[in-house]
A and B are shown apart, each in its own frame.
Chain A
Amino acid sequence: MASDITNQSGLDVKFPESVWGWLLIILLALICGVFASSVPWLVKYPQNWFVPLADWINIFTDWFEAIAKPVTRFIGNLLELPMQGLREVLQWVPWPVTVLAVALLALHASGWGLVVICVLASLYIALSGYWEQAMNTMALVGVAVPLSLLLGLGLGIYASRTRSGQRIMPPILDLMQTIPTFAYLIPMLVLFGFGPVVGLIASAIYACPPMVRNVSLGLQSVPEEIREAARMSGSSSYQQLFWVEIPAAMGQIKVGINQTIMAALSMVIIASVIGGFNDIGWEVLSTMRKARFGDSLLAGVVIVFIAIIMDRISAAYANRDYLSSGSDAPSKHHFLIAAGALIVLCAVLKFFDIGTAIEEADWAKSIADWLNLKLDEFVGAYGDILTSIKNFFYFFYLLPLRTGLSQSILPFTWGFDFTGPMRISYAVMCVLGAIGVGMRWGWQKGLGVAILAYLLYFGTTGAPWSVVIATLTYLGWQVGGRKTGLFVLGALGFILLTGMWERAMLSVYLCGAAAIMSFLFGASVGVWAASNDTVSAIVRPICDTFQTIPLFVFLIPTLMFFQLGEFTALLAIIAYAFVPAIRYTENGLREVSPQLLEVAVEQGCTPSQIFWQVKLPLAMPSMMVGLNQTIMYAFAMLVIAALVGTTGLGQQIYQALTAANTGLGVVSGLSMALLAMTADRIMQAWAANRYAGLDG
């Protein structure tokens, strides 16, 4: 029974005749491999065939900027006003009052447990000497979030209410959520000029898709009868929407609010690379640049704590059932008392001049110095070991994936040369292996072995573009039908024509390398957690916290030990991307129906047979979704990792940002988004086939 399921992967069910297409691709691959010198354009896309899209965009932007400048500057100044106002207020209010306000909010949202967490976290922020920077960040978030929520609410209503919205919003949201964070900043930078407003607007826009999705989902899942009841009561469409549908969808909308807040915070932190605003992200970045990692760590902890406070409070509001809040929720009366008490306290503290922000905390300073010292000592003492770890991964994992075995096996790296006879025996082994696997487990698996062997030989960057595009397009077509195939072709075509191919392949390689390791690590932990409740209970809060932390912070510990470089980037990406692999693996395994397991036990399966032949195949679709998410997370982090030295599209976007080159930024940002969407479409179609196979 279990083996039936394994064989029902979408590929062989749907297109048994597809073998011919694969044979053509293999032929193409052989041509590119053997006759590379006579058809170089099939291997490496000629430079003079590029379409200078980036230049065209720059011409357009220059023209548009000239016209729009008065308007954009006006909008910028308009937004600067509330932001500066909030900043002044947050800086002026004595910190004990702010901490108390946070505590009251936590109490209202949840209970004393949350109060303890929030008070400890905000006390750290106040006492560590980063209060001013933290409040500057909060001023940005405080203006960006309401803007983003309003925008999200409006677009969400549009997306759920109108036919055109239902059609055009989902692809726009997909694009918005895959365009790299830095890429948002570039056009804003050009339009609004250097300054904190860029981060403000970028994060308002960047953070609204989750709100749009949740509003739209919430409105669409309001039961039809409730809508009809409102209509039959004679509601106008305004009354129906604002009195009935939005309140009824509030549970879902609150989930959107939580996600939007976190996205806005994340973007505000990232936007600090623009500089010019003394916020906490900038503090981390500048201390990292000075290699004062002790300071970066202390400031990074501030970011993590801000994120935790904001996430836990907004999540508590989202989880709190509005239905049960009726009786025990504090009334307006309580709210007024609390506000009055805070104002009085504020006045008293101001009068006695207590609670002004601590600018330099001696204890924090000494901890930072101590950390810096210890770190230097550690790196000094164990530097050789760290370097060997780094080189090991670089030579035996990253380099082969990047340039292929053909280029990476050298006396310098592997200690020997990849000689002619060795190359031939590698080819023979691969062919035999592919045939063997094909005979034993079906031709798709054999084909998979062949593709991997080919890729491993030429490397991600060395593989001919024609073969890569043909393979991925055909794969997309096989698993997702014509539409997916065309999408993949179009997306990769765009990257190729605009001259982003080599950069894109560098990104694919690093992303792939990170995704493989994240998934292997995450899936193993997930398997363990599925079989052991204690492990599950420990892993879950860790996953939650890792998901809350703004991406940026992951750079600190990795950079600390391994300096700039791809290995550091790899570690940072893995640290962020392994969480979905754990979650989906554990859920998939735990959701296997107990009845099926009983059947398996009854038939005398050993535990290992049950795991490999029953549980794993049944959990596979869920794990595929986890792999997909892992890849998406890796793409998101890849761009941030450009800060610690990568060579792909991410770095190109970062360069475009520093040079305020809109054309380059837009084209490379789009390329990155298209890569992510290509991976996403293929993986999703594949997972959907798997699900369908299980149902059948």
Chain B
Amino acid sequence: MAGEGKTALECRNLWRVFGDAHGGKLANSALPKGDDAIRLAEEMSSAGDIVACGDINLKIKDGEFFVLMGLSGSGKSTLMRCMSRLTEPSAGELLIDGEDFLGISDQELMEVRRRKMGMVFQHFGLFPHMSVRENVAFPLRVQGASEAERNAKADEMITLVGLDGREDAFPHQLSGGQKQRVGIARSLAVDPELWFLDEPFSALDPLIRWQMQSELLRLQTLFHKTIIFVTHDFMEAVRLADRIAIMKDGLVVQVGTPEDIVLNPATDYVAEFVKEAPRTKIIKISQLMEPLKTGKPKKSGGEALHCDMTLEDALSWSAVRGGALPVADEDGNMIGTVPPERLTAALSGGDDGE
């Protein structure tokens, strides 16, 4: 998880409303906050407008894997389109690297997209008339790079996503997974800082989806991009995210790490998602542990649960041992113990670990 790094992208009171029944209620100077904003959103919906994004306040950190999660119609895709200005926000502020992103000229916007942004699309958005190489090289061609330069970079990216040998193929000759690899290679060709992925794996088979998620995690360990990833699949969100924002009806209902959300769903709506989630694969031992009373950690001196271990692993480990289980940190220091009954309680959802 990215630590306390600087903020890469920030939304302040960001709104996107479709329809015009709301009239002038969204003047930038007088944007409502908190509950007032929720009330305004409800008011506008009942007047017939569609509030795709209502009062969005988010800070996405440099190098963070941030997932926007919600069902269809929740506004997650619109929010991402607002962040990249494929859709213009109706009101509010958007800052990239601390600088205003909404007020810049078209020319500047084009430059930002050329240098700083990459996007992957749900249905791949590949150019049907271009070969794989031409597709990947396209963002460089737009910038005016020479043919040799852009082809070299494109081939490098194609190798990176494992499509060697398919450089001259056309999109219609590729499988879904291969197409999305091209989409990923293209979006990374200019080495962007902000990487937008709009439900990139939704159109793929479950098995391929799993592979592609692993692939994405691998790429992220290589590049450490700031990722904004949209999905409707809670499991995908949990697997990939550093932090998740859950959206419903255009509003963000909860932001937090996957564990936070699983253990402390903020609303019934979130709890519905969490119920489906395999808790044993998400809850980590560190959240169930009773910390040592003596302030100083000591060497575990042998067998102990690891604090990053999932509940599932801990259970199988504990089956061969009795009594309170010791827990060690990254350095092997004993930092606490877990009573086995707490593991089983966590399994059934009866214990929230607090």
Contact = CB atoms under 8 A, between A and B. Distances in A.
Given A248-B129, A323-B129, A326-B168, A233 B122 contact: no
A225 B170 contact: no
**Secondary structure type dominating chain B contacts:** mixed
B86 A228 contact: yes
B218 to A, nearest CB: 23
* Interface size bracket, B side: 20 to 34
B213 interface: no
A72 to B, nearest CB: 40
A234 B126 contact: no
B110 A225 contact: no
A326 B170 CA distance: 9
Contacts of B141: 243
Contact of B138 (A233, A236, A248): A233
A328 to B, nearest CB: 13
B113 A234 contact: yes
Given A232-B117, A233-B114, A326-B131, A223 B143 contact: no
A323 B139 contact: no
A250 B129 contact: yes
Contact of B124 (A225, A233, A323): A225
A231 interface: yes
B232 interface: no
Interface residues of A, number: 21
A234 B139 contact: yes
B113 A232 contact: yes
B142 A226 contact: no
Interface string B98-111: 00000000000011
Contacts, number: 73
Contacts of A231: 86, 113
Given A323-B128, A323-B129, A326-B168, A233 B113 contact: yes
Given A223-B125, A234-B139, A229 B110 contact: no
B42 to A, nearest CB: 30
B86 A232 contact: yes
B153 interface: no
Contact of B127 (A226, A234, A236, A326): A226
A229 B119 contact: yes
Given A225-B122, A228-B86, A244 B127 contact: yes
A244 B196 CA distance: 21
Nearest to B129: A247
Nearest to A239: B142
Contact of B119 (A232, A236, A247): A232
A234 B129 contact: no
Contacts of B124: 225
B304 to A, nearest CB: 48
Contacts of A498: none
B183 to A, nearest CB: 8
A687 to B, nearest CB: 33
Contacts of A239: 142
A382 interface: no
B113 A225 contact: no
Contacts of B111: 234
A248 B126 CA distance: 10
A416 B319 CA distance: 113
A589 B229 CA distance: 49
Contacts of B126: 226, 229
Nearest to A231: B86
A235 interface: yes
Contacts of A49: none
A225 B125 contact: yes
Interface string A303-328: 00000000000000000001100100
A238 to B, nearest CB: 11
B89 interface: no
A351 B323 CA distance: 108
Interface in B194-245: 196
B110 A234 contact: yes
A685 to B, nearest CB: 30
Contacts of A228: 86, 119, 121, 125
Contacts of A326: 131, 168, 170
Contacts of A233: 113-114, 138-139, 142, 186
A614 B97 CA distance: 67
B3 to A, nearest CB: 29
B161 to A, nearest CB: 16
B125 A226 contact: yes
Nearest to B84: A232
Nearest to B87: A228
B33 interface: no
Nearest to A324: B170
A229 B129 contact: no
A512 B208 CA distance: 61
A665 B131 CA distance: 53
B12 interface: no
A223 B142 contact: no
Interface string A213-245: 000000000010110111111111001000110
A248 B196 CA distance: 24
Contacts of A236: 110, 142
Contact of B129 (A230, A232, A322): A322
B22 interface: no
Nearest to B117: A232
Given A233-B113, A323-B170, A225 B123 contact: yes
B265 interface: no
Nearest to A249: B129
B172 interface: yes
Given A231-B86, A326-B170, A225 B121 contact: yes
Contacts of A243: 138, 141-142
A225 B122 CA distance: 8
A224 to B, nearest CB: 9
Nearest to B107: A236
A601 B113 CA distance: 62
B123 A223 contact: yes
A28 B3 CA distance: 87
Nearest to B116: A234
Interface in B111-161: 111-115, 117-119, 121-131, 138-139, 141-143
A247 B117 CA distance: 24
Nearest to A246: B129
Nearest to A232: B119
B127 A248 contact: yes
B100 to A, nearest CB: 19
A232 B189 CA distance: 12
A250 B114 CA distance: 26
B127 A229 contact: yes
A19 to B, nearest CB: 38
A649 B114 CA distance: 60
Contact of B125 (A229, A322, A323): A229
Contacts of B118: 232
A326 B115 CA distance: 31
Nearest to B140: A233
Nearest to A222: B128
Nearest to B85: A231
Nearest to A236: B110
Interface in B76-94: 84, 86
Contacts of B143: 234
Contacts of B86: 228, 231-232
Interface in B159-179: 168, 170, 172-173
A324 to B, nearest CB: 8
A44 to B, nearest CB: 54
Interface of B: 84, 86, 110-115, 117-119, 121-131, 138-139, 141-143, 168, 170, 172-173, 186-187, 196
Given A226-B125, A229-B119, 7 more contacts: A225-B121, A229-B127, A231-B86, A233-B113, A233-B114, A247-B130, A248-B129
- 7 closest residue pairs by CB, A with B: A234-B114, A229-B125, A225-B125, A234-B113, A233-B139, A232-B119, A247-B129
10 contacts: A226-B127, A229-B119, A232-B118, A232-B196, A233-B139, A235-B110, A243-B138, A247-B127, A323-B172, A326-B170
